[in-house]
Amino acid sequence: MEYLTKDVKYNIDKIDTLIGVNISFDIGRRELVILDKQIYLYYLSSLIDSQALTLIITNLLKLNDEPNKNDDYFELIVNNIAYENIKYQTNLQNICEDILNGLVVVIVEGEERAISVELRKYPTRSISEPDMEKVIRGPHDGFTENLSVNIALLRRRIKDIRLRNIIYPVGTKSKTNCCISYLEGVCDPSLIRMVCDRLKQINTLHLILTDKALEEMLLKQKFNPYPLVRYTERADTVAVHLYQGMIAIFVDTSPSVILAPATLFDHLQHFEEYRQTPLAGTYLRFLRFGGVLLSVFLTPLYLLLSLYPNYIPSFLSFLFENPNLNLPIFWQLILAEIGVEFLRMASIHTPNALSTAMSLIAGILIGDIAIRLGFFNESVVLLVALAAIGTYITPSYELGLANKITKLFFLCLIYIGGFWGFVIGVVAWFIYLCSLKSFNKPYLSPLVPFNFSKILKVLIRFPYTNNKKR
């Protein structure tokens, strides 16, 4: 670990070599002579406010017109930097990191301290409503890739002196700023210590994959399909969950915020329920729960009944009137489920101008031709489509994908073991969910362990009350 010395030439040569001055075109270095001493300003031209930098240079050059030999030279330079946020650095590594993070670093001849000035102006898109969390009533702003903008959106909603925002740089080579936000006195102190300790223990070169990579390193999960944290791009959602004792983790360059600890039922809530009347909100919640259950169990139950036709209810018999088909029901369901995934993936990568044409080709031509050729039964296409709608009803995109994997798992077990395969699969699935924990919080809470009053709050959208407990 190297530090600045009083030899300004040594300092400049070291910094030039470390960050590649005169090699990288966007690294700027400006040399000034102020009161017969050299001053060097380092910055990234693409990440700073050029007007503010021009103002600082102008103020420093004015010192030559009215020299004051009695003042301390370093303090004189500091007092004439017209910006509100500065800090001192002595370590060469920290100085280079500040430059690469968009700060302006001032090196003063004969001084062992550098001045880092906060002049960052990151390129960012405008604030808009998240595509995955749209609401009819309520605010239509969402987080962006700029950490400062995201914290400002949160501060705008939480005007509470207990709000704490702590920065943790992650990455040994390319550092990415992560911010932990919580309400002091509301969030469990043991949870805060756990998250902070795990952040400090992360040893990675970079965090280019941002929040998802950070989640995997924090939770150290390997092949678990179910999300143990919740993602959101809405500032109001983060604010509400902070008052519920959760912790939020912002990652620079990512519009998504991690909320933890998150249970299965946290992933099933949507902000739209709280923008309607309590009765309408409860109605929407029951519809959503029903859609999620259909997305998991509809096609497995259809396959199960097709294997045991004696147990088919009479009012559902029309769904099982199968003509001579070229494929068994199991393979029809598997191919149809995979086909829906193909459509979903294709829609993500299809430009908006072509999405309508793709929908017509996929939904009408391919589906109709497959039915006419005898590859699919009409009932299979209908039920797979209803299950896909249930997947899209799921508020959490990650939970929808996990339920899709679970459904394919059930279909395979039914094909292998029939009724008992389905029973074993459901029991194993439930036990597995019971074993999961999100930062030591049971994943099925408040169902396991059972808490009747909290279960009612999960199922029913109660009216707001003058609750001052928190």
- Asked if pLDDT for residue 468 goes beyond 70, the answer is no
**With bands split at pLDDT 50, 70 and 90, how would you rate the model's confidence at 357?**
low
Question: Helices 92-100 and 8-19: crossing angle, nearest 10°?
Answer: 50
Which tens digits make up the pLDDT trace of 277-294? Answer: 899 999 999 999 999 999
Contact status, residue 382 vs residue 334, Cβ threshold 8 Å:
no
What is residue 346's predicted lDDT score, i.e. its pLDDT? Answer: 78
- Model confidence at 99: pLDDT above 70: yes
> Residue 183 pairs with which residues in a beta bridge?
163
pLDDT in tens, 201-215: 898 888 887 888 899
pLDDT at 85 over 60: yes
Determine the Cα–Cα distance for residues 64 and 62; give it in Å rounded to an integer: 5
Which pLDDT score, from 0 to 100, does residue 350 have? Answer: 73
Q: Residue 368 above 80 pLDDT?
A: no
Among the residues of 20-91, which ranges form H helices? 50-61, 73-79
69, two tokens: 């030999």
Overall average pLDDT of the 405-434 stretch: 95
Is residue 70 very low, low, confident or very high in pLDDT (cuts 50, 70, 90)?
low
User: What span, in angstroms and rounded, lies between the C-alpha atoms of 267 and 20?
Assistant: 46
Could you tell me the pTM of the whole model?
A: 0.85
The pLDDT assigned to 470 comes to 52
Residue with the larger pLDDT of the pair 361 and 207: 207
Q: What's the whole-number mean pLDDT along residues 41-61?
A: 90
Provide the residue ranges of all domains of the chain, joining segments of one domain with +: 8-117, 147-262, 277-452
Q: Do residues 250 and 150 touch, judged by C-beta distance below 8 A? A: yes
Candidates 117, 18, 20; CA nearest to 60 is 117
333, two tokens: 């369901």
Cβ atoms of 419 and 308 closer than 8 Å: yes
Task: Please give the pLDDT value at position 121.
Answer: 85
Instruction: Report pLDDT for 66.
Output: 75
Residue with tokens 């039964």: 377
- Termini Cα distance of the chain: 46
Nearest to 166 by CA among 154, 180, 150, 177: 180
Spatial neighbors of 400 by CB under 8 A, at least 6 apart, are: 295, 391, 392, 394
Inter-CA distances, 52 with 84, 115, 124, 386, Å: 11, 15, 18, 57
State the residue for tokens 């808490």: 451
pLDDT in tens, 386-416: 999 999 889 998 999 999 999 999 999 999 9
